[in-house]
Chains A and B, each alone.
Chain A
Amino acid sequence: MSEKPKIAVYTCYCGGNISHTVKCEQVAKLLAEQPDVVVSRTNMSLCSDAGQSQIEEDIRELGVNRVVIGACAPSLHEQTFRKTVIRAGLNPYLYHHIGLREQDSWVHTCDADGATCKAVRLMAAGVAKARLLDPLEPIQLEAEKRALVIGGGVAGLRAALDIADQGLKVVLVEKTPFLGGRMAQLDTVFPTGEEAHILLADLIDKVVNHDKITIFTQTEVTKVSGYVGNYGIQLTQHSRGVSAENAKALQDACQQMVADEFNYGLTERKVIYQPYHGCYPPLPAVDWEHYNGEPININGKSEILKDEIQQFELSAGAVVVATGFDPYVPREGEYGYSELPQVVTLPQLIRHMALNPGAKSLEWQGHKVRDIVLIHCVGSREIEGIDEPQEDGQVNNYCSRVCCTATLHMIEELRENFPKLNIYDLYQDIRTYGRGHEDYYINALDNGTRFVRYHGEEKPKVFAAPKGDTHPVLVHVTDALTYNQELEIPVDLVVLATGMQPRQIDDLVKMLKVSRGNDRFLLEVHPKLRPVETAVNGVILAGTAQGPMNIQESISAASAAAAKVISLLGSGQVELQPFVAAVDPEKCNGTGACVEACEYEDAIALETFVEDGKEVTRAVVTPANCTGCGACVAVCPNRAIDVQGWTLAQYEAMVDAIAMDIVDLVEAG
């Protein structure tokens, strides 16, 4: 910093929101006494045109080169005032914002003097920081106008289409041989009742025929390098194993059968397969995971199928992670699952219904179902200490959000198709939160469904009925709706409304360096301020990779992810905030402590230079890879590295200002 600081301080009344508690005039007067402050003003509403004009005028006419504003929360107007100072010709990072409304006047309404003293100290801290501010420039990077979308489910497809529609290239990779993801396994979807495969076919058709989108199925991301604007991606693709010419013959001749995961194990399929009629790509594929390597005889010749794995590289400016979810699979014995054949999951029942369209009665394993019970919250809202943890020690304490409506949607279908069925719905709470979802609950109440409310601490129990009983299964439940009456419900089928679980994508998480929450879903930076963005620049989330969502929400999140990608790469240049680590070459002597402390690959490295005939080793930051966490700052023994805009010296100065004794200043005021 070369020029002497000339600081302007503004204390906003916020139309009375601040000034009703904080004595703004007194704050302004006291701040005017601070060294380097050339002007200290109050304003009724600083964000108004008049307020902003005043700031611009002071910068131009008084030669102000630092601005400190005490107003509402920075999240509301920090960007507004950055633009204001830019208009007056000042670097936008020579401005500091203090939240006097949410963090002072609104929370100390009974202590006006305390709130005023707090405002003085916080504003003085702002002045102390402002003295040490340096002009900063956003980081400009060339951007590859191509996005990689990982996942060919509904979120990945939607994101790819939205990005491509804006003229950017998209590479869509799908791990399995077919597009469609979990949505392809659904029958009809709430709240519109449309058929999932028709909606999906329309979307897939648009994606497949888009000239900006390249699709790779049976493909995984195996290496990631680089940074936003210029990610280097290695893809590994398995071969399809069949060609258009020999596919039918091979499929006909193939004898090896495996459980069909598309139908959740209800049926079997061949290892050369298509999951459903009309899937894309239409060509069958070999299930390499299960193929036993035995030769397949066609036309008198035996053929052993070989997976010819290919690897190739591509560059992408941004990565959209749309890896989806896995349905919760109950452990053996949980509500009788996998012990009693009459206990199934809701996804299994959905597939069962889809496989038996037009059936006159609901049958399960050859037996007519007269009484059915559906149990909510299986694998969701689990309670630590009560529910048994999974193999990895996790307890799913979150709500999966979609299962309540999905269960009630199923009840509606059951009632329409099988009017004589006795239906029992065992729930903790009904969470039909979306538009039109509550109708399913109201309809279920009207159509004779019997609701039984249980508490999470006292879950229903499922038993095999004694031999000769009228029904094969008994469900015991304590009903909170009838003053904890113990009920025994004899039923033919138990349906477990299983929740959503995060996908096993550990390798991808490591490669992309993204974070996971306690629930193991991927984390966005901030649900309101920076939704769908991860802390890694250029890595964006779409759909259920970041938490349970229904199809509508997945599509919205995918479109939001696409909008982020478009705004990031659209101009061919990426602009990043300058809040990244910076090394002071005068102080750095190459201890390497910062490199060791950094968790982000390629963000900081030691490099050796020749200066004045001598070799010197110093840390060098790659700004595009730095997240600005500051782990390097704490460990440097020479204080040779700092996060720009958030330096340790600035924090120390702010602490000093907060700790100061303001009695003298007040008396002067």
Chain B
Amino acid sequence: MTKLNISNEPKILILATLAGGYAGADSTGQSHVDYPANTYILPVMCPVMFPPEFFIRAYERGIDGIILMYSGTDSPYKVEAEGTAKLINATYALMKERGIDTRRLRLAAICTVCVKPFLKEVNNMHNLLKGIGFVKSELKSHPAPLQGAKS
């Protein structure tokens, strides 16, 4: 068995709604278009379920960039558009407290056939992280404990 060549690239977590971004990622796959492999997509029903502390915890664990791919105002859930915008704002405030570059969190409306927008978001985040590096360096310089964080 050959040894794997493991790249040491920043990790991008993509939380993608089943009715939007997750299906968009599948559509991108069906188009057979390459994008960086340091992207990990998890399906979600609706992103409003995540408290801001969830994102901070993810950064602390070593996720360097997060993209929330939701359905925007075209969501089947009434709360998704407004609720997710509020969630992002609250998370940005916490990220600033922790000294985490807020560009590490992106909100993008991705539909089920949004191949180009999906690729654009992924590549933009990948390029950004290439420039600003790993999140751990930012966390090290701001060692303040997270207020209100849950275990």
- The interface of chain A, by Cβ under 8 A from chain B, is 23, 25-26, 29, 73-75, 99, 101-104, 106-111, 113-118, 121-122, 125, 513, 515, 517-518, 523-529, 534-535, 579, 597, 599-600, 627-631, 633-635, 639, 643, 646, 648, 651-652, 654-656, 658-659, 662-663, 666-667, 669
Contact = CB atoms under 8 A, between A and B. Distances in A.
B37 A114 contact: yes
Interface stretch (B73-81, B99-107, B139-147): B73-81
A629 B51 contact: no
Nearest to A638: B150
A528 B112 contact: yes
Given A629-B46, A651-B54, A655-B61, A103 B41 contact: yes
Contact of A23 (B2, B46, B54): B2
A-B pairs with the 7 shortest C-beta distances?
A630-B49, A102-B29, A114-B37, A535-B76, A659-B62, A629-B46, A659-B61
B76 A118 contact: no
Contact of A634 (B28, B34, B48): B48
B129 to A, nearest CB: 14
B75 A515 contact: yes
Contacts of B51: 633-635, 648
A235 B126 CA distance: 55
B127 interface: no
Instruction: Bin the interface of chain B by size.
Output: 35 or more
Contacts of B39: 118
Given A26-B4, A629-B79, A639-B150, 14 more contacts: A23-B2, A99-B41, A107-B28, A107-B33, A108-B36, A114-B36, A117-B7, A526-B23, A600-B78, A627-B77, A629-B77, A633-B51, A646-B44, A651-B54
Contacts of A648: 49-51, 54
28 contacts: A26-B2, A26-B4, A29-B1, A99-B26, A101-B29, A102-B28, A107-B35, A108-B35, A111-B37, A114-B36, A117-B7, A523-B76, A525-B76, A526-B76, A528-B112, A629-B46, A630-B45, A643-B49, A646-B45, A648-B49, A648-B50, A651-B54, A652-B57, A658-B13, A658-B40, A659-B58, A666-B3, A669-B1
B40 to A, nearest CB: 5
Chain B interface SS verdict (over half) = loop
A114 B11 CA distance: 12
Contacts of B29: 73, 99, 101-103, 106-107
B90 to A, nearest CB: 9
A123 to B, nearest CB: 11
A110 B34 contact: yes
B43 A74 contact: yes
B67 interface: no
Nearest to B58: A655
Contacts of A115: 37
A122 B41 CA distance: 8
Contacts of A101: 29
Nearest to B111: A527
A527 B114 CA distance: 14
Contact of A652 (B46, B48, B54, B87): B54
A631 B62 CA distance: 26
B95 interface: no
B132 interface: no
Contacts of A526: 18-19, 23, 76, 112
Contacts of A113: 4-7
B25 interface: yes
B38 interface: yes
A395 to B, nearest CB: 14
Contacts of A99: 26, 29, 41
A631 B37 contact: no
A518, A535, A579, A634 pick with most chain B CB within 10 angstroms: A634
Nearest to B44: A646
B83 interface: yes
A212 B28 CA distance: 47
Contacts of B128: none
Contacts of B28: 102, 107
Contacts of A125: 40, 42
Nearest to B39: A118
Nearest to A655: B58
Contacts of A535: 76-78
A529 B23 contact: yes
B25 A631 contact: no
Contacts of B7: 113-114, 117
B19, B51, B72, B77 pick with most chain A CB within 10 angstroms: B77
A646 B49 contact: yes
A22 to B, nearest CB: 10
A117 B6 contact: yes
B135 to A, nearest CB: 10
A429 to B, nearest CB: 20
B96 interface: no
B63 interface: yes
A40 to B, nearest CB: 14
B54 A656 contact: no
B137 interface: no
B34 to A, nearest CB: 6
A32 to B, nearest CB: 13
B40 A122 contact: yes
Contacts of A600: 78
A634 B48 CA distance: 7
Contacts of A667: 3
Contacts of B54: 648, 651-652
A631 B80 CA distance: 9
B61 A662 contact: no
A123 B29 CA distance: 18
B76 A599 contact: no
A516 to B, nearest CB: 8
Contacts of A528: 23, 112
A29 B19 CA distance: 34
Nearest to B64: A659
Contacts of B30: 102, 106
A18 B131 CA distance: 31
Contact of B79 (A29, A523, A631, A639): A631
Nearest to A536: B76
Nearest to B48: A631
Interface in B86-136: 87, 112
Contacts of A659: 11, 58, 61-63
A640 to B, nearest CB: 12
Given A26-B1, A526-B23, A666-B6, A107 B74 contact: no
Given A102-B25, A579-B45, A118 B112 contact: no
A654 B7 CA distance: 20
Contacts of A534: 76
